[in-house]
Amino acid sequence: MNILILGSGGREHTFAWKIAQSKHCDKLFVAPGNSGTAAIAENVAINGNDFEAIKQLALKEAIDMIVVGPEDPLVNGVHDFILNDPETKHIGVIGPQKAAATLEGSKEFAKEFMMRHNIPTAAYESFTKETLTDGYSFLERLQPPYVLKADGLAAGKGVVILNDLEAAKAELKSMLVDSKFGQASTKVVIEEFLDGIELSCFVLSDGEHYKILPTAKDYKRIGEGDTGLNTGGMGAVSPVPFATKEFLAKIEDRIVKPTIEGFKKDNLPYVGFVFIGLIKVGDDPKVIEYNVRMGDPETEVVFPRLKNDLVEILQAMANGTLNTIELDIDSRAATTIVLVSGGYPETYNKGYEITGLDQVTDSIPFHAGAQLKDGKIVSSGGRVLAITSYGDTYNEAIKKSYQSIEKLHFDKMYYRSDIGFDL
Ligand code: AMP
Ligand code: GLY
């Protein structure tokens, strides 16, 4: 098979790394890819939202399957585009059609889906500019902290949590009236604050059947001890030690099953990954959010633990035969530490040369914001590398990643030295 991956981060390098190992993969393309994918696949300089260019590439290279990494091509309808064109409709697309991708594209849509299907989540109401004063009254009835969420995609920045009522009201006004997040905050969801520890659950769906991948936990804040600004993710571990068998059974019964049933009842075709952001409140799981893709950096710890041929799984997803697949999971733990460019998630520089990658032998260095330039590997984003290791325990794996990091260098390199501290 010829396979095309859309995206350019650590997640997509991990997809490429895993797919390149498959006996079913003939030619592998990544659009646009990074320096990591360049070494194992052919990078093509196409943006994932340029559907016409994707179609032309797919026809020229006889692509059989497109695996979509990030959410925005899905929310913009890449699957629908490929499916509705007679020239490309035979191509399997991994990632839901636009209707179901709205689960990530609109927080209100996701909340309504959960209410309709009795899926445990925080109580909420949503507001627009016209109902601003109702929003103020709702805030007055809640206990702090106040959780305000821009309805649409806001590059991971659309959730604001505040302790002070007046500050929360001002934030609501800024989102709704002053368009703080542009179009994304035309609507704002205000919800009950949930106090607990977070984890991520990844589900494979073929629209009819499902399989649950190993759990993972990511570390979203820039600073040690989970402080400072939110990032895309600074590190991850899998499995999650506090996700016991009993807790996982609750997740499956109360959340995964009604989610997959909900897709069918609501006529939302879903071939792809369901990323359920969960919080453990007491002994019970509640849903924080749905994403319609794999997590990054969670993919960098989940896929290395998957022993199956990934292409066989992807084919089963595309063909509706996921029930015939038995997942084979490595019993070792995997951890990843993300190396970022100093200043991230605020302003940072690009173009720093990365050295030492060839010295790393005990870990898998996945490339994220890194590109080839004049024969050198240079940083091209905030999150630059994700260093994944295995261990019999997660502590052992974390130690290996930190040892590997000592061999790596780029100017202003920063990473958290406390990944896993809370486990
Ligand atoms: P989201 O973009 O929905 O994942 O939200 C970003 C982060 O905000 C989550 O990872 C949580 O840490 C936090 N968060 C979101 N909703 C809530 C909530 N209802 N209660 C507590 N924390 C929340
Ligand atoms: N690591 C969180 C995300 O991918 O959204």
CA of 388 to the centre of ligand 1 (A): 26
- Of ligand 2's listed atoms, the one at least distance from the Cα of 220 is 1
Helix (H), strand (E) at residue 60 = helix 51-60
CB 153 near ligand 1, within 6 Å: no
pLDDT digits (tens, 9 = 90+) for 201-214: 999 999 999 999 99
Please check whether residue 180 is in contact with residue 154, taking contact to mean a CB–CB distance below 8 angstroms.
no
At 423, is the pLDDT very low, low, confident or very high (cuts 50, 70, 90)? confident
CA of 56 to the centre of ligand 2 (A): 30
The DSSP secondary-structure symbol of 306 reads B
Find the DSSP H helices in 142-244.
165-176
**How far is 108 from 115, CA to CA, in rounded Å?**
11
pLDDT at residue 102, rounded to an integer: 97
**How far is 387 from 398, CA to CA, in rounded Å?**
10
CA of 288 to the centre of ligand 1 (A): 6
**How far is 315 from 310, CA to CA, in rounded Å?**
9
Sign of CA dihedral 398, 406, 382, 77: negative
CB 200 near ligand 2, within 6 Å: no
Longest dimension (CA), the chain: 60
Ligand approaching nearest to the C-alpha of 298: 2
CA of 61 to the centre of ligand 2 (A): 31
At 333, is the pLDDT very low, low, confident or very high (cuts 50, 70, 90)? very high
pLDDT, average across residues 254-272: 98
Q: Report the nearest-CA residue for atom 12 of ligand 1.
A: 198
Closest CA to 36 of 354, 391, 330, 306: 354
pLDDT at residue 422, rounded to an integer: 86
Q: Report the nearest-CA residue for atom 3 of ligand 2.
A: 295
Query: What percent of the chain is predicted at pLDDT more than 90?
Result: 97
Please check whether residue 192 is in contact with residue 147, taking contact to mean a CB–CB distance below 8 angstroms.
yes
- Of ligand 1's listed atoms, the one at least distance from the Cα of 149 is 3
At 156, is the pLDDT very low, low, confident or very high (cuts 50, 70, 90)? confident
The DSSP secondary-structure symbol of 213 reads P
pLDDT at residue 13, rounded to an integer: 98
**How far is 101 from 110, CA to CA, in rounded Å?**
10
pLDDT, average across residues 354-379: 97
pLDDT, average across residues 209-238: 95
Closest CA to 218 of 229, 210, 226: 226
Q: Which domains does the chain have, with CATH numbers?
A: 2-97 (3.40.50.20), 123-191 (3.30.1490.20), 197-324 (3.30.470.20), 333-414 (3.90.600.10)
CB 184 near ligand 1, within 6 Å: no
CA of 333 to the centre of ligand 1 (A): 26
Please check whether residue 42 is in contact with residue 76, taking contact to mean a CB–CB distance below 8 angstroms.
no
CA of 97 to the centre of ligand 1 (A): 25
- CA 267 distance to own-chain centroid: 24
pLDDT at residue 343, rounded to an integer: 96
pLDDT, average across residues 345-357: 97
